C-alpha cells in the first residue's frame, strides 16, 4: 500500500499535544478524523515528534499508508479543505513503504521564543513565554556554548521518558535577539522528553543570575535533573524542521 509523507504546521494552543490520547483533543486525532472524512479510510499516522500540549510546529513530518487515489502531490490541497484553520498541510509526496518520520530522521530543529515587553503580551501569550523581567543575555549565550556537542543529557530529561540512552549530539544552540523577541534555536540528532523546555528553563535561571553560566558543564555531567532549572511552559516551543539523509527512502518532493 502506498505511503504518503506530509509536512504540516499547526498552532498547538487548542490541542493536548500531537499524539492521540483517550478523552483529549490532539493533532493526531484531528488529522486522522479529517483523513477519514476525505477518503473513508481509518488510518493511523506516524509522526517525527511527539509535541506536548500547547506546543506548535512549523515543520512537523507525518506519514501514513493509504489506498486512496488522490495523487501524492495533491494531498495538500485535498486535506486542507477539511482541516481546521490551525492545522495546515504544507507539502506532500510519495515515500517508500518502510519510511518512518521519526526513526529515519537525521536531525531536528526546535525553537523557543521569549517575548520581552509588557505591552503586546496579550497577543503573544499563546506563542511565546512572555516575561519582561531582567535577563542577562550574555550569560545565557555563554551557557548555550556548553550545551553544544555530544553529551549525556539526563539532567535535562523529564521523568517518564522511555529513552534507552540519554546521549545526544547538539550541533547548534544559539540565542538570538530581535527587538522584543528572543529566540533559542537548538538542533540535534535527537531530543529527550522535555529536553528543550528544561534547557530553556535552565537558561532563564542563568539569565536571572541564579545559576552561574560556568555551572552548565557540571550540571550536564551530574546527570541529575534536580540541578537543572524548571521546565519552561509549552507555548513558547516550536518544532521548526526535521531533516533526513539522502538515503532515507524519500522520493523527490512534490509541492
Q: What's the predicted TM-score (pTM) here?
A: 0.94
Examine the domain organization and report whether 25 and 52 are in the same domain. Answer: yes
Give the count of domains, the chain. Answer: 2
Strand bridging mode 56-65 / 3-10: antiparallel
Examine the domain organization and report whether 155 and 237 are in the same domain. Answer: yes
Backbone angles phi, psi at 216, to 5 degrees: -60, -45
**Helices 137-147 and 195-207 meet at what angle, rounded to 10?**
140
- Residue 46 in domain: yes
Examine the domain organization and report whether 130 and 237 are in the same domain. Answer: yes
164: left (phi over 0), alpha (psi -120 to 50) or beta: alpha
Examine the domain organization and report whether 63 and 151 are in the same domain. Answer: no
Q: At which of 87, 104, 121 does a domain end?
A: 104
pLDDT at 249: 63
Examine the domain organization and report whether 54 and 142 are in the same domain. Answer: no
Q: Catalytic positions, please? A: 52
Examine the domain organization and report whether 69 and 183 are in the same domain. Answer: no
- Enclosing domain of residue 84: 3-104
CA–CA separation, 78 and 6 (whole Å): 12
Per-residue pLDDT of the chain (255 residues; tens, 9 = 90+): 899 999 999 999 999 999 999 889 999 999 999 999 999 999 999 999 999 999 999 999 999 999 999 999 999 999 999 999 999 999 999 999 999 999 999 999 999 999 999 999 999 999 999 999 999 999 999 999 999 999 999 999 998 777 889 999 999 999 999 999 999 999 999 999 999 999 999 999 999 999 999 999 999 999 999 999 999 999 999 999 999 988 766 654 433
pLDDT at 129: 98
CA–CA separation, 237 and 228 (whole Å): 18
Looking at residue 155, which CATH number applies to its domain? 3.30.70.660
CA–CA separation, 172 and 169 (whole Å): 9
Q: At which of 56, 81, 104 does a domain end?
A: 104
Examine the domain organization and report whether 95 and 114 are in the same domain. Answer: no
Examine the domain organization and report whether 227 and 184 are in the same domain. Answer: yes
Amino acid at each position: 500500500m502506498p505511503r504518503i509523507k506530509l509536512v504540516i504546521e499547526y498552532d498547538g494552543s487548542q490541542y493536548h499535544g500531537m499524539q492521540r490520547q483517550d478523552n483529549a483533543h490532539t493533532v493526531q486525532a484531528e488529522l486522522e478524523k479529517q483523513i477519514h472524512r476525505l477518503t473513508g479510510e481509518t488510518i493511523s499516522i506516524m509522526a517525527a515528534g511527539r509535541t506536548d500540549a500547547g506546543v506548535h510546529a512549523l515543520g512537523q513530518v507525518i506519514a501514513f499508508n493509504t489506498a486512496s487515489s488522490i495523487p501524492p502531490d495533491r494531498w495538500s490541497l485535498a486535506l486542507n479543505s477539511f482541516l481546521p484553520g490551525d492545522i495546515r498541510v504544507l507539502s506532500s509526496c510519495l515515500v517508500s513503504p518502510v519510511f518512518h518520520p521519526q526513526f529515519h530522521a537525521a536531525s531536528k530543529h526546535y525553537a523557543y521564543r521569549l517575548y520581552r515587553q509588557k505591552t503586546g503580551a496579550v497577543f503573544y501569550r499563546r506563542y511565546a513565554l512572555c516575561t519582561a523581567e531582567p535577563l542577562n543575555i550574555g550569560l545565557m549565550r555563554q551557557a548555550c556554548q556548553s550545551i553544544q556537542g555530544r553529551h549525556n543529557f539526563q539532567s535535562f530529561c523529564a521523568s517518564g521518558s522511555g529513552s534507552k540512552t540519554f546521549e545526544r549530539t547538539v550541533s547548534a544552540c544559539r540565542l538570538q535577539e530581535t527587538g522584543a523577541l528572543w529566540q533559542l534555536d537548538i538542533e540535534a540528532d535527537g531530543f529527550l522528553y522535555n529536553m528543550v523546555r528544561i534547557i530553556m528553563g535552565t537558561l532563564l535561571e542563568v539569565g536571572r543570575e541564579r545559576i552561574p553560566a560556568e555551572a552548565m558543564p557540571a550540571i550536564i555531567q551530574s546527570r541529575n535533573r534536580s540541578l537543572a532549572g524548571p521546565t519552561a511552559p509549552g507555548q513558547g516551543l516550536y518544532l521548526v524542521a526535521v531533516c533526513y539523509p539522502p538515503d532515507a527512502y524519500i522520493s523527490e518532493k512534490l509541492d
